[in-house]
Structure 1
Amino acid sequence: MKDTARIRTALALAVRANLPVLLWGAPGTGKTSSVLALGRELDLPVEVVVGSVREPGDFSGLPVVHEGGTRFAPPRWAERLAAAGEGLLFLDELTTAPPAVQAAMLRVLLERTVGDLVLPAGVRIVAAANPPGLAADGWELSAPLANRLVHLDREVSAADVAAGFAHGFPDSGAADAVAPSAEGVAAARAAVGAFLRVRPELVLAVPEDPGRAGRGWPSPRSWEAAAVALAAGRANPGAPESEAAVAALVVGAVGEAAGFEALSWLRTLDLPAPEDLLADPGLALPDRADRLHALLGALVAHVAADGGAPAWERAWEVVARVSRTVPDVAATAARDLASRRPAGAAPPAALLELAPVLRAAGLMPGEAA
């Protein structure tokens, strides 16, 4: 049951966090029915768009002469979602969509735009696909399309199916899940950014093999998705199999090798909470630069979410401590913190100690970055 719960929770977290997610599985494993059930669970309309029976114009819009110019009219499914203001756009059978249709889907996934219509923020995108070898006239996913999705493998066990037939299939838990906060996403981005400072070669690694390029792989876009997934997990720690679900989302975004390495690094951070650090700026700090990057990034995110002058002023004490041993790390945090100065905040005394760091960061009057 654990594997099933893991993917079910991962789907719920992705939908709440507005991450476009792709369910992979063999034909007949219930991918479509699970998405339709998710819509019922969340009381959202579901628009099913099957890739094999669509043309590029169903995503890029049909050119129509209008008032002496040309507009690109969206299809009816997009108009219905726009009118509802929220819903699930279910892109089914992605691997049966020919390359021209896959290319037209790119703008929908990245910009949430269909023709001249922008889909509301309340519309979530879920897709499903059979492995190309099991799809009718199957195509590999193009690398650009694959990199816009978080990939989840839907697993089916005899015990789960038997229990579902006997007692009904359980809900995904999406109704109880909450979206990550802006502060939570910013803190997760800081942690991921700190990892990428240690492993810069993983920022972008496009697979040469078409099959691997059609799944998750590292890019700035997919690392952003991984950070949002981390934030979603932290916002829902009580969800069933939450830690395993987050791992599935991170690996589904950036691939197994990069994903597991990042998760292993993140588990060993053991950093003080930003609020504890602000309450006692003398708390012990990590001695490694990568951990300090993650700590100060989370601190700046917390201060930005707090929005108050006291938190902003106390944060400078922590930055000043870091500047004594790792000035480069402090300079990065100083730049971010200075840009978030709240109204009425007085320059703290710690700024005198930070003058060399601020000068290096281009934050002193008359200094260039």
Structure 2
Amino acid sequence: MAVNTMKVSAGDAYEVLKAGWEAQRSGAMQVSYMLHGRPGVGKTQVVAQLADAIGARLFDLRLTTIEPQDLRGLPYYDHDAQKTIWYRPEDLPDDIDAPSILFLDELTAASPYLQPTVYGLLQERRVGRHRLPDSVFVVAAGNTVEDGAIAYEMNTALSDRLIHLHVQAVASDWLDNYAVPRGLHPAVIAFIKTRADLLETTERALDQGHMIASTPRSWERVSQIMQAVPDRRVRNVLIAGTVGDAAAADFALIADDIAATVQVTEMLEADRKDRIALYPATMHGLNALIYGLIGILDRRNAEDAIDIMADIRQLSRLREDPEFKRMPLGELCTYGFEGLIRRGLELGIGEAFLATPAYRAYADERKAAGLD
């Protein structure tokens, strides 16, 4: 059964859930949400990001690993009252003051015997006699049968209890809102920047009968491999086992080029005359340099990082390499400064930009051209 709703990026899903939380906190609306999407597109990360943002305790229930009694609890006998009373399970939030998120993950893969127990949590916000406090925000997630994952069709009784969001991988959203803020390896970020088609290949892999697909989650694992495994041969085997041999081969070419040409630390330590010769003469290299500068930015190196970023727009004049004349250097510089400024504000060093002659010259140049 198709999920007939709008497809949204992980970043948009986060904004929708955050708005839903604000509406619930104000008393205007209290509903449950369902995140559909292929494995690895970022559904779990969206919920974890929301919990961090609102200061909520996250109760993450993997429904494939529990039985109905794990939600309802266990009975004991009150002989005085001559009643059976239920112990509430500890996995359900009961704090009436502190915000909590109840995340019912892998809902569509859960046993059909469990789903009726989940209905009460999603619609009535209760199971047995236990009611969820108003401070609890309820989100479920799961894959569909079409995703090649283990999944049951969601019946209409369950579907009607939810607001549905269909999450898909969008390269620009993943780069700006996840990969860069999380400090993923510059080679991974630069590669996806130019090969957005390889961020998520589940449908292609299913059509070709391949077991391994690339997903946002698997590219995060590639970043971990790049940072943890220095041996190139071993690293390439691990990456092929993570995103598939074809994507790994394409990535290896770019990663090798970046490793040979991108020298962020050396550029920060060099004077401007020597620094100009260190700029990589490829788009992949310049993208990796930009993300490397964003990742390494701090108060001590801010002025040098700003100088290096500002000179990108002038490389066709400062260097004789013909490659620079064919590159969109102005757009690269603008994109780089946007990321660098965003990171600077997060670090509380935004004032460093206004105090730097290179940034003021860049800003004046854009203003004169009517771009700001």
Shorter-chain-normalised TM-score: which range?
0.3 to 0.5
Per the normalisation by structure 2, the TM-score is: 0.45
Per the normalisation by structure 1, the TM-score is: 0.45
Q: Which has the higher contact order (CA 8 A, sep 6+)?
A: 1
